[in-house]
Structure 1
């Protein structure tokens, strides 16, 4: 997927997600959309990664162009990878975003992590 196509897919995805409690972040080598601090979907040159939860995973994997998400060879339960061909139409993309929203919007808000304080080598005086 080219950078232009990646940008278009990000814009198409953003249009499907209500503004409230949504944040856009660079993660996993792509652009992720977070709802209440929880990852919803991630757009990258490899397609879409959708967080659908373990309960919806079997249904999601039965869809065309879907596979388990295994970055670095390790499975991520509840996350599905969708090839670019599986999100070419607005209807297909909306279906994936809605499936992810069903799961993620039911999760409690994830508080932002506070930055760790740097430890100094000096003992407190």
Structure 2
């Protein structure tokens, strides 16, 4: 398993910006040959090699896929529903990374209702 360890550190730091009751419900799990960050057992974001993987609400997918540095997650050679990859150019700043983490958290929370 290989994934960007520096990006993992940045994601952990981004999670620290959430209230403690949110932070306490995150855990890391090895998935897809990389690592994923789960909120109450629901995947939010992850890292596969050097790409950020993000779960996105279906209602937002069309707009998100129009953004720079974003492409459908095609881990199985077909686009996966409500999954995207963001290349390193799309997560250069902490603000950019935080945006993607928040989108992933939004998706996870929607699955808990």
Task: Establish whether residue 12 from structure 1 lines up as the match of residue 3 from structure 2.
Answer: no
Which of 51, 69, 73 is matched with 2:73 structurally? Answer: 69
Number of residues paired by the alignment?
A: 106
Report the structure number with the largest CA radius of gyration: 1
| Partners of 1:52 and 1:79 within 8 A in 2 | yes
What SS does structure 1 have at the residue aligned with 2:110?
A: coil
Considering only aligned residues, what root-mean-square deviation do their CA atoms show, in Å? 1.7
Task: Check if 1:54 corresponds to 2:58.
Answer: yes
| Deviation (angstroms), 1:49 | 0.7
Higher share in helix: 2
Contact 2:57–2:106 (8 Å) recurs in 1? no
Gaps of 5+ in 1: 110-125
TM-score with structure 2 setting the length: 0.84
What is the Cα deviation at residue 25 of structure 1?
Answer: 0.7
Q: Higher relative CO (CA 8 A, sep ≥ 6), structure 1 or 2?
A: 2
The C-alpha deviation readout for 1:46-78, integer Å capped at 9, x for no partner, is: 311100121111121121100111112122111
**Where does structure 1 differ by over 2 angstroms across 4 or more consecutive aligned residues?**
none
Please name the residue that 2:31 is paired with.
27
Aligned to 1:95: 99
1:44 to 41, 44, 48: 48
Q: Take 1:58 and 1:100, find their aligned partners in 2: how far apart are those partners?
A: 15
Q: CA deviation at 1:106?
A: 2.3
